[in-house]
């Protein structure tokens, strides 16, 4: 039986305010996706949901690499890609800071609206008698179909 190793860390963020926030990163090497991409997705998701805000400082490269027990190069690659995308501002000697631009703020708002709409729809489907697993299967099927409609088209 093969063991599945999941790297995780709870890191403390120190924004410019007096508040201290904990953020949890979880990387799974068995997921079939590079660790730097997993980290990028989690940081991006945290900005979209508002868990990370403009100006929040992320952990240093060495600190996060030690917490996650992975190579610092993985953190460097993730941070550099996010800087290239305009989501992070890397300041030599100071660290990585969240740099939420207008598009990201708009996306965060859109995600929150979408979540409210999904919550309402799920409530309606439950009232109609569907169980959560049935709702999830239907949602996954429609999401897959909308991403690859040509592959599901019937050949005549």
Tens of pLDDT along 132-154? 999 999 988 888 878 776 665 55
Q: How far apart are CA 88 and CA 40, in angstroms?
A: 11
Share above pLDDT 70 across residues of the chain, in percent, rounded to a whole number: 76
What is the pLDDT at residue 154? 54
Tens of pLDDT along 35-76? 999 999 999 988 888 888 888 899 889 988 998 889 999 999
What is the pLDDT at residue 144? 82
Q: With a cut of 60, say whether residue 94 has pLDDT above it.
A: yes
């Amino acid at each position: 039986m093969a063991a599945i190793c999941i790297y995780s860390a709870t890191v403390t963020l120190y924004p410019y305010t007096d508040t201290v926030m904990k953020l949890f990163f979880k990387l799974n090497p068995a997921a079939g996706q590079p660790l730097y991409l997993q980290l990028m997705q989690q940081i991006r998701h945290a900005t979209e949901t508002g868990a990370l805000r403009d100006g929040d400082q992320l952990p240093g490269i060495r600190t996060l690499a030690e917490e996650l027990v992975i190579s610092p190069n993985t953190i460097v690659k993730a941070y550099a890609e996010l800087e290239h995308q305009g989501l992070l501002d890397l300041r030599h000697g100071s660290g990585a800071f969240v740099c939420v631009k207008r598009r990201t703020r708009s996306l965060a708002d859109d995600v929150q609206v979408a979540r409210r709409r999904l919550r309402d729809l799920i409530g309606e489907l439950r009232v109609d008698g569907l169980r959560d697993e049935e709702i999830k299967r239907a949602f996954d099927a429609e999401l897959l179909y909308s991403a690859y409609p040509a592959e599901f088209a019937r050949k005549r």
